[in-house]
Amino acid sequence: MKYLLSVCLALACLCSISAADTVAVGQPMPKISKLIPGAKVPNTSGKVVLVDFWASWCGPCKKSFPVLNDLQNKYGSKGLVVIGVSVDENADDFNKFATKNKAAFSLVHDAAHKAAAAFSPPTMPTSYIIDRKGVVRHIHKGFKGSKTAAEYVAEIEALLAAK
């Protein structure tokens, strides 16, 4: 029942946002640090950024974490910053998932859904890849295993190579 309630609340939040408010390719990345005051967000200035919206109840989110860890470990020293944004309302759910999945990248808890409202992810997970100038260049709806992982690598490598 708790799971069903969480899913319904998250979907209601995501569905209440109009399509006009959706972050799209070519738009600037909203400032997560302003949307979630007090969140420990790394400096993204001049970096390639992957912002991944996830939830503890999301099966594909669990599968994406090892890939996101690999990306951060492989490309972090080259200018990539991965930020995972949880839309879980319950802090315990966020903390349990974070502890179990041991992220090598920064995690923030968006319990009030302010970042989710600004980005308007259509599904969990949804990832936004942002260039060094802060512009959204790629959006991935869902996580499809090795196919998505290969797309991440190609897109990140191209953005890191661009000066």
Question: How many angstroms separate the CA atoms of 112 and 69, rounded?
Answer: 26
Q: Which of 8, 13, 15, 61 is catalytic?
A: 61
Active site residue 58: yes
Catalytic residue among 8, 13, 15, 58: 58
- Three-state SS for 52? strand
Q: Which among 120, 140, 163, 116 has a CA at the least distance from the CA of 60?
A: 140
Alpha-carbon span 8 to 120, nearest angstrom: 16
15 is catalytic: no
Q: Give backbone dihedrals phi and psi of 51, rounded to 5 degrees, phi first.
A: -105, 120
**Catalytic annotation, residues:** 58, 61
